A = this chain, B = another copy of it.
Amino acid sequence: MNSKINSDQRSFLYKQLAGEIEAKIRSGAFQPGEKLPSIRMLHRQLNVSITTAHQAYLELETTGLIEARPKSGFYVSPVSLKQLRAPVHDRVSSGPRRVELGSMVNAILKAITDPGMLPLGSSAISTELMPARHFARTMKDMSIREVQARIGYSLTEGSPELRRQLAVRTLGLLNGIDPEDIVVTNGCTEAVTLCLQAILKPGDVLAVEAPTHFGFLQLFKSLSIMVAEVPTHPEYGVEIDALEELLSRTPVKACLFMPNFHNPLGSLMPDENKARLVELLNRREIPVIEDDICGELFFEGNKRPSLLKQFDRKALVLTCSSFSKTVAPGLRVGWTIPGKRFKEKVLRLKAASTVCTSTLDQHLIARFLDSGACERHMRKIRRAVKGQLLKTVVAIGKHFPEDTRLAVPSGGSLLWVGLHPSVDGLGIYRQALEEKISILPGSACSLSGGFRNYIRIGCGHPFTEATEQGIQKLGRIIADLAAGSKRTDFLS
């Protein structure tokens, strides 16, 4: 019988089994350090093949959740995800303020992008996980005539072939999106920039999550817009009651949120929150820009999380994303679906500031989306990033102080790590630099001066021995800083 099961079915079987065991580990049914049922036992009791049972354990081993002990079998990793408690944010909320950034910003940005560092401060995903082979083949196959067509200007709104592919990808997610509704941009950041410019004048107030994406703060400053920060839950995203309260006392002109796998939090807004949020903003006629750059990097199930735009009845949600986290960061291709109210303005702004997006980059991405390779690749990269992230979580559990707080996200590549209140993330950042490790201090993600005892750790790169050692060194730095502050407490 088994010989009739094809490889797709077999892969489905072992992944299903691995998922069930993972759920039992997460729920605590299997305890940290506990020996797992033997392969033979799974075979007999669950009526699965030996191969399936073995593959399920190998799959779990790549995530760091379980470990093989020679001649003994498989054990739950001694550090359980369950031990880690989610961070509890101080309620950071503020009236609108002008964006003032310290000189640290440049230094932090340099450290994060320095190739000589262990890149734990970076939100980038390694190009080792990207489909270079596919792009190489496409480039080899291009005739001189095709090349000639791809080195000419593209339309400001983007190439027709790419916009068609993007429209196809919204099927089942958004209703009635045509290629004409999409504007191609130089990455997600340009998409957000154009949408902000289309809605806001200098001095207007934008509501953002606290904390928010580090890079956005400089953008707000350069656009001279005022910023009001909304308390945001580390697991469930922006707090809607707090937003409502802010709207009642402040003339907010627009919102910029990251509902799916937030940067830096990793939080995911539940659908009911998304519905309520859009309902509130629709009612008040306030546009909201959603940055969905990590939406495709989901870890659970087969369906990507929903978009705010799905709940929009008034063309007030502007969705922005890109392929930087999944396909190719350096091919600068992002896009926005700004909706009928803002599309013409977005187009005019793009024509004025960058004219158009690289025609060749658009072609390469469009060809990849059109190929059979795309969906397989997406599954592969999701699994790889999930594995890297879980291994990092396990390493943090092993090497960081016991009072470390962390909610394991269900997508994206970022960990938001809460530390003892006496530990300053900026101090960790400085000492880590000397060990050639970059991290992002939490305070760099907010204008409030809050989140001082948080750091963001990126898991976009393959987890190696060097990563393990880096986490260990960070753990030692944190423990030393905590001990130092206790000594100071004692002396004062």
Query: Beta-carbon contacts of A475-489 to B below 8 Å, as 1s and 0s?
Result: 000000000000000
CB distance from A124 to the nearest CB of B (A): 6
Chain B residue numbers with a CB within 8 Å of A145 are 132
Contact yes or no, A152 B357, CB < 8 A: no
Count of chain A residues with a beta carbon within 8 Å of a chain B beta carbon? 65
Q: A135-B147, A136-B147 are in contact. Are A219 and B330 (CB under 8 A)?
A: no
Measured in the bound complex, the distance between the Cα atoms of B351 and A105 in whole Å is 11
- Stretch of A36-44, A72-80, A182-190, A226-234 contacting B (4+ beta carbons < 8 Å): A182-190
Query: Beta-carbon contacts of A152-177 to B below 8 Å, as 1s and 0s?
Result: 11111000000000000000000000
Contact yes or no, B127 A187, CB < 8 A: no
Query: Beta-carbon contacts of A126-153 to B below 8 Å, as 1s and 0s?
Result: 0110101101100110111101111111
Chain B residue numbers with a CB within 8 Å of A127 are 148-149, 151-152
Query: Assuming A106-B347, A219-B353, A354-B354, what are 20 further A-B pairs, CB within 8 angstroms?
Result: A105-B348, A109-B348, A113-B153, A127-B151, A127-B152, A128-B148, A132-B144, A132-B148, A132-B151, A139-B142, A152-B329, A186-B186, A197-B222, A215-B351, A215-B352, A215-B355, A218-B352, A330-B358, A330-B359, A360-B361
Measured in the bound complex, the distance between the Cα atoms of B348 and A355 in whole Å is 21
Q: A190-B354, A352-B189, A361-B360 are in contact. Are A124 and B140 (CB under 8 A)?
A: no
Q: Is A356 an interface residue (CB 8 A)?
A: yes
A–B complex contacts, Cβ < 8 Å, 11 sampled: A113-B153, A128-B148, A133-B147, A135-B147, A139-B140, A151-B331, A189-B354, A190-B354, A218-B352, A332-B332, A360-B364
Q: Is A300 an interface residue (CB 8 A)?
A: no
CB distance from A206 to the nearest CB of B (A): 14
Chain B residue numbers with a CB within 8 Å of A133 are 144, 147
Measured in the bound complex, the distance between the Cα atoms of B155 and A109 in whole Å is 10
Measured in the bound complex, the distance between the Cα atoms of B131 and A144 in whole Å is 10
Q: Is A288 an interface residue (CB 8 A)?
A: no
CB distance from A176 to the nearest CB of B (A): 24
Chain B residue numbers with a CB within 8 Å of A361 are 358, 360-361
